[in-house]
Structure 1
Amino acid sequence: MAIETKVRKIGNSLGIVLPKEALQALKVEEGATVYLTEAPNCSLNINPERPGFEEQMQIAESLMQRYRNTFRELAK
């Protein structure tokens, strides 16, 4: 599913408005927290807040930082 939306000026920032279809696919409502995570090829993933997600991301970021040289070598 591809949903098109535009980047808009919101106050002094830029933002996007998620259409109804995207909110239904993410199973989120107004006021919900979503996480943007970096993905390959200059893209982002949008993940709704799920129990334990933030803790998992902190663990993953800690491991990536600790073993960054190892990951860099593996990526070659």
Structure 2
Amino acid sequence: MNEQTKIESGPGQVVATVEIKKIGNSSGLIFSKELMSRLNLSVGDQLYATLTPDGGIRFTPSNPDFEKAMEVARRGMKRYHNALAELAK
């Protein structure tokens, strides 16, 4: 493992470098095998990119908008549990 792909842990530390390559008419990010393993990613997985307040980008395996909507739905289902149970009959 060379210095560019060395993975360390700790908040605010660089854990790996990611390379951008031309792939057809698009561009793609190249993740090292070690980084893929550490993040529990597989080829074909989708990541969602969101902008952070400090101008960075955060990649997550789940869609943050969907998670917010699901939280609202869970609260509604809890609040109206009896009514939903009656409707399900």
Scaled to the shorter chain, the TM-score interval is 0.5 to 0.7
1:37 to 34, 50, 65: 50
Indicate the structure whose relative CO is greater, using CA pairs within 8 Å and at least 6 residues apart: 1
CA offset digits 1:23-73 (Å, max 9, x no partner): 122212112121111113321111123xx855125x4xxxxxxxxxxxxxx
The structure having more radius of gyration, on CA atoms, is 2
Between Structure 1 and Structure 2, the one with more strand by share is 1
TM-score by length of 1: 0.55
Q: In the alignment, is residue 56 of structure 1 matched against residue 67 of structure 2?
A: yes
**RMSD over aligned Cα atoms:** 2.3
Identical-residue share of aligned pairs (%): 25
Q: Give the 4+ runs in structure 1 shifted more than 6 A.
A: none
* Structure 2 stretches lacking a partner, 5+ long: 1-7, 9-14, 70-89
